[in-house]
């Protein structure tokens, strides 16, 4: 047989238990593939497809928005595994936060939600004849989503824990997994602390040699740690569980005298002391509570103490263990809820996962099996009422042409179990209220006589024990009446509660707080005694509350099927599978789904969601006041039914265009027309039509988004262009202003420099003239005649001007200490002074050493002369104005000899 374990049967997913691990069928990659697929229904049937459909229904906000998945089937069909895989799927797809901080928060929430599974399975699941991991309680997990469809938390609600399994296990069955985990997974120190030595035998721990996958202690401890249960609290929990195991080894010997209490057996005394020590209970009050019963009677509430028989002692011992374990399980559920539940204001929608016990039929069936099968009957009736009967009746009311399909209705069986005024539950509750000993044979007689006319009630004449048979939708089940009334009463002696309130154990103090009001309520007088709620009554009330929640959601069904009763892989027994399919009504479901319309939306919701598709309606000849235009303009969210009809017709007219657009190029020439019908108040359509409408709506929204994006980009481009032009104008104005300011500063600086230069020239000329005035007057007084008295030729006049202008260089060369000497020096002087070439003898030049008549205001330089020139930082400081031809100015003014000038 190929590894194909899922198929669709109408609106129901049929899941076949492979009885072997198939890792590739539940990998994270496959989860993302179903989540990212544009059309998940076109992929292979899978539980991830159902999960994705519910998630997209929440996103589409089609009423009812809240979704629920009902996982049903026989015990061992794989319901727990299916629920676990669905939770893993939602944890992957419903967590897409935008920031890193929100991602860490979402990751922590997902981890806590996933860690609640191993804890609840360890404390609430057990190995039975049909299933190694059978849920012995029902649970409804509410996955809470916020407005953006992200998982923000979860809540767990449990139903009817099979607490009798703590003290009683059928043949070849086991106790809850947690007891085997602490016995196999505890280390040496923990064994010593919890008094669990290797190889110890416990009466309430049958078949300890079997090793199951669920016996992993470390997984449970790690999950509890993630849920906020620290190591000391865990140690306290496991110590209490070890105390319950030792409590199960307590045995009483029959006293033989009703006036004397039963005594402990010798081999049970050690277990008694160990149990009292682990539970932190005083030994004497504990033993007295188990041996002696307290009775209050009379108006004065006189107290009588009566020793219990051996059976009563065992019953009180079992009651003590069941009471502690039930309170512990409820406390764990409350801790899990406080850890994973979100604030009511932070979530708006939810997806519910219902995992209840499967249909059970054992050789010995009692009240637990009756309640479990009753719950399965209610869920089957919900399926029948919601899908098989309600759909067909709705088609007729809405005016659709429909031929009814016959189906198996289990309402008769429900009337037998819970009907009014007389039913099995009412008769059992009545026996509990009667103040008389209950007889199994008498209860059988009452049930058979009062309900003899029911076709679902039978009797096994070959049975030696009192019993009755109920024909359920999945088959007949025989229930034994022995102990049925006592289990329904579930009596808890008040002295047991008071004893547990005296415990010094921190956990038991939390589980059994000392409440005076509760104590007074547990001991009412005989005249004003309030009827105590029985197990059946409480279970029925919680089941009704669950169904009310399911009725407010869009249900989805997963039917888990066992291919064989032995749990063997690759073994498919056709008869067993077919009987399960027929029992749960899947054959009729296929017929109705093939001819019906699973999607039903009210006119108002349909128009509100798909009014956009009117844009795709083919354009007719435009009229200024056409009816369609009027309808388009007059539509409002609170429009009346007559107003909605034109809008509905416009939307329906757009379906052919959507069908043609959705047709593949390589497909047939004409696509299959959309199957949609308009009823009186609702629109009926198939899944393919809904997919077509959603695809068209997405296209219109995409076009609108593109139009908005185009307008926004155009507006942004124009705005940026205007901003750029304004920036260019501002930059040009600023640059012009900066240039003008710079030129003004340069002009002002040049003016200042020029003025300072003129002042400096005038000051230097004034200083030079003041120095030379006295010397010139002295020498001119000794001269025989002035220079003007001797007129000079033009050549001499030019030579005199050249000498005056270029005297510094000649002076340097003539007075140099090193360099050329003699005639060469004179040639250099002549060349520098640019003298005429008439002959060197005509213009003799004397050196400073030879000349005697030279007079100067400063001493002649000694040694070599160096000129140090530095460029001024001022721009115009190095530009010297052109001097006049015959003016002699400078730092030093040399007065040449008058007689030499006169001779020349």
Which residue out of 68, 72, 80, 82 is catalytically annotated?
Answer: 80
Contacts 24+ apart (CB under 8 A), 798-806: 799/835, 799/836, 799/843, 799/904, 800/901, 800/904, 801/885, 801/886, 802/833, 802/834, 802/835, 803/833, 804/886, 804/888, 806/832, 806/833, 806/834
Which residue out of 162, 214, 360, 691 is catalytically annotated?
Answer: 360
Which residue out of 17, 117, 125, 131 is catalytically annotated?
Answer: 131
Buried b (16+ CB within 10 A) or exposed e, 12-41: bbbbbbbbeeeeebbeeebbeebbeeeebe
For the question of residue 153 being annotated catalytic, the response is no
Tokens of 179: 């007891």
Which residue out of 75, 83, 410, 454 is catalytically annotated?
Answer: 75
- Taking the C-alpha atoms of residue 459 and residue 470, their distance in angstroms, rounded to an integer, is 9
Bridge partner residues of 479 (DSSP): 365, 468
For the question of residue 134 being annotated catalytic, the response is yes
Cα–Cα separations (whole angstroms), residue 307 to 271, 296, 312, 522, 895 = 22, 14, 9, 21, 156
CB-based contact 398:182 (threshold 8 Å) = no
For the question of residue 80 being annotated catalytic, the response is yes
Buried b (16+ CB within 10 A) or exposed e, 234-266: eebbbbbbbbbbbbbbbbbeebeeeeebbebee
Q: Sort strands 599-602 and 682-685 into parallel, antiparallel or unpaired.
A: antiparallel
- Taking the C-alpha atoms of residue 642 and residue 544, their distance in angstroms, rounded to an integer, is 39
Q: Sort strands 457-458 and 467-472 into parallel, antiparallel or unpaired.
A: antiparallel
CB-based contact 206:169 (threshold 8 Å) = yes
- Taking the C-alpha atoms of residue 137 and residue 162, their distance in angstroms, rounded to an integer, is 6
| Crossing angle of helices 231-248 and 217-226, rounded to 10° | 130
Residue 614 CB: number of other CB atoms within 10 A? Answer: 19
- Taking the C-alpha atoms of residue 650 and residue 630, their distance in angstroms, rounded to an integer, is 12
Q: How far is CA 770 from the centre of its chain?
A: 101
Which residue out of 117, 134, 249, 289 is catalytically annotated?
Answer: 134
CB-based contact 814:829 (threshold 8 Å) = yes
For the question of residue 781 being annotated catalytic, the response is no
- In sequence order, the 6+-apart residues with CB closer than 8 A to the CB of 436 are none
For the question of residue 75 being annotated catalytic, the response is yes
CA-closest candidate to residue 810, choices 857, 846, 850? 846
Which residue out of 10, 76, 78, 585 is catalytically annotated?
Answer: 76
- 3-class secondary structure, 310: helix
Which residue out of 135, 410, 454, 689 is catalytically annotated?
Answer: 135
Alpha helices in 341-361 (DSSP H): none
Tokens of 211: 């090793």
| Crossing angle of helices 823-833 and 807-814, rounded to 10° | 170
Backbone φ and ψ of 15, nearest 5°: -115, 120
For the question of residue 135 being annotated catalytic, the response is yes
Tokens of 788: 């003007």
CA-closest candidate to residue 331, choices 226, 245, 228, 244? 228
Cα–Cα separations (whole angstroms), residue 147 to 53, 144, 151, 276, 345 = 18, 10, 10, 52, 11
Which residue out of 51, 358, 696, 810 is catalytically annotated?
Answer: 358
Catalytic residues: 75-76, 80, 131, 134-135, 358, 360
């Amino acid at each position: 047989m190929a590894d194909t374990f899922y198929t669709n049967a109408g609106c129901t997913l049929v899941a076949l238990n492979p009885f072997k691990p198939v890792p590739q069928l539940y990998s994270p990659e496959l989860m993302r593939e179903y989540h990212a697929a544009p059309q998940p229904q076109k992929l292979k049937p899978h539980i991830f497809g159902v999960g994705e459909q519910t998630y997209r229904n929440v996103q589409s906000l089609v009423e009812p928005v809240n979704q629920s998945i009902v996982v049903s089937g026989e015990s061992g069909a794989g319901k727990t595994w299916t629920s676990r895989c669905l939770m893993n799927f939602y944890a992957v797809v419903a967590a897409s936060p935008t920031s890193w901080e929100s991602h860490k928060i979402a990751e922590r929430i997902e981890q806590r939600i996933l860690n609640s599974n191993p804890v609840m399975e360890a404390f609430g699941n057990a190995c039975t004849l049909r299933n190694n991991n059978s849920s012995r309680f029902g649970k409804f997990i509410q996955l809470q989503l916020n407005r953006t469809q992200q998982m923000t938390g979860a809540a767990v609600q449990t139903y009817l824990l099979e607490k009798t399994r703590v003290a009683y296990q059928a043949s070849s069955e086991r106790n809850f997994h947690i007891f085997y985990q602490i016995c196999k997974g505890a280390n040496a120190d923990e064994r010593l602390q919890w008094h669990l030595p290797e190889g110890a035998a416990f009466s309430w721990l049958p078949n300890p040699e079997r090793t199951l996958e669920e016996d992993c202690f470390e997984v449970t401890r790690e999950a509890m740690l993630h849920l906020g249960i620290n190591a000391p609290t865990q140690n306290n929990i496991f110590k209490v569980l070890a105390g319950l195991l030792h409590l199960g080894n307590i045995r009483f010997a029959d006293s033989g005298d009703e006036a004397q209490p039963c005594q402990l057996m010798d081999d049970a005394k050690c277990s008694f002391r160990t149990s009292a020590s682990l539970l932190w209970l005083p030994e004497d009050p504990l033993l007295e509570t188990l041996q002696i019963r307290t009775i209050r009677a009379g108006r004065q509430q006189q107290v009588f103490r009566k020793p219990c028989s051996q059976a009563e002692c065992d019953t009180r011992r079992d009651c003590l263990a069941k009471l502690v374990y039930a309170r512990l399980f409820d406390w764990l559920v409350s801790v899990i809820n406080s850890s994973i539940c979100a604030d009511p204001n932070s979530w708006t929608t939810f997806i519910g996962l219902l995992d209840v016990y499967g249909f059970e039929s054992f050789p010995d069936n009692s009240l637990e099996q009756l309640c479990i099968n009753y719950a399965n009957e209610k869920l089957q009736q919900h399926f029948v009422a919601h899908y098989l009967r309600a759909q067909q009746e709705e088609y007729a009311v809405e005016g659709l042409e429909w031929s009814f399909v016959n189906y198996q209705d289990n309402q008769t069986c429900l009337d037998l179990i819970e009907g009014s005024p007389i039913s099995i539950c009412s008769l059992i509750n009545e026996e509990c209220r009667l103040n008389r000993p209950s007889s199994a044979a008498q209860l059988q007689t009452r049930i058979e006589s009062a309900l003899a006319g029911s076709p679902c009630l039978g009797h096994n004449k070959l049975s030696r024990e009192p019993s009755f048979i109920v024909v359920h939708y999945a088959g007949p089940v025989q229930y034994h009446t022995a102990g049925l009334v006592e289990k329904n009463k579930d009596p808890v002696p008040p002295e047991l509660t008071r004893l547990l309130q005296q415990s010094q154990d921190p956990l038991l103090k939390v589980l059994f707080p000392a409440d005076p009001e509760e104590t007074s309520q547990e001991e009412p007088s005989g005249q004003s005694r309030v009827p105590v709620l029985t197990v059946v009554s409480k279970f029925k009330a919680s089941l009704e509350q669950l169904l009310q929640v399911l009725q407010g959601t869009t249900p989805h069904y997963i039917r888990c099927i066992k291919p064989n009763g032995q749990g063997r892989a690759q073994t498919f027994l056709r008869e067993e599978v077919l009987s399960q399919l027929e029992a749960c009504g899947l054959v009729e479901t296929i017929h109705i789904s093939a001819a019906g319309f699973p999607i039903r939306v009210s006119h108002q919701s349909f128009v509100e969601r798909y009014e956009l598709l009117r844009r795709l309606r083919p354009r007719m000849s435009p009229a200024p006041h056409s009816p369609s235009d009027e309808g388009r303009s007059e539509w409002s969210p609170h429009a009346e039914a007559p107003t909605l009809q034109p809008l509905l017709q416009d939307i329906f007219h757009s379906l052919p265009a959507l069908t043609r657009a959705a047709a593949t190029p390589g497909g047939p020439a004409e696509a299959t027309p959309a199957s949609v019908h308009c009823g009186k108040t609702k629109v009926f359509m198939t899944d393919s039509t809904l997919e077509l409408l959603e695809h068209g709506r997405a296209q219109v929204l995409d076009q609108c988004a593109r139009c908005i994006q185009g307008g926004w980009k155009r507006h942004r481009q124009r705005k940026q262009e205007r901003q750029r032009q304004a920036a260019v104008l501002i930059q040009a104005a600023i640059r012009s202003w900066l240039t003008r300011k710079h030129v003004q500063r340069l002009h002002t600086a040049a003016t200042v420099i020029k003025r300072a230069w003129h002042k400096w020239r005038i000051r230097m000329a004034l200083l030079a003239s003041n120095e030379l005035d006295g010397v010139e007057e002295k020498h001119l007084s000794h001269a025989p005649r002035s220079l003007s008295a001797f007129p000079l030729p033009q050549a001499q006049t030019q030579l005199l001007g050249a000498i005056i202008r270029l005297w510094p260089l000649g002076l340097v060369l003539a007075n140099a200490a090193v360099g050329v000497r003699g005639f060469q020096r004179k040639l250099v002087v002549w060349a520098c002074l640019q003298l005429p070439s008439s002959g060197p003898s005509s213009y003799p030049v004397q050196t400073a050493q030879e000349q005697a008549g030279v007079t100067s205001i400063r001493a002649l330089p000694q040694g070599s002369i160096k000129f140090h020139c530095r460029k001024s930082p001022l721009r115009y400081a190095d530009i010297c104005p052109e001097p006049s031809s015959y003016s002699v100015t400078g730092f030093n003014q040399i007065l040449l000899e008058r007689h030499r000038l006169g001779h020349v």
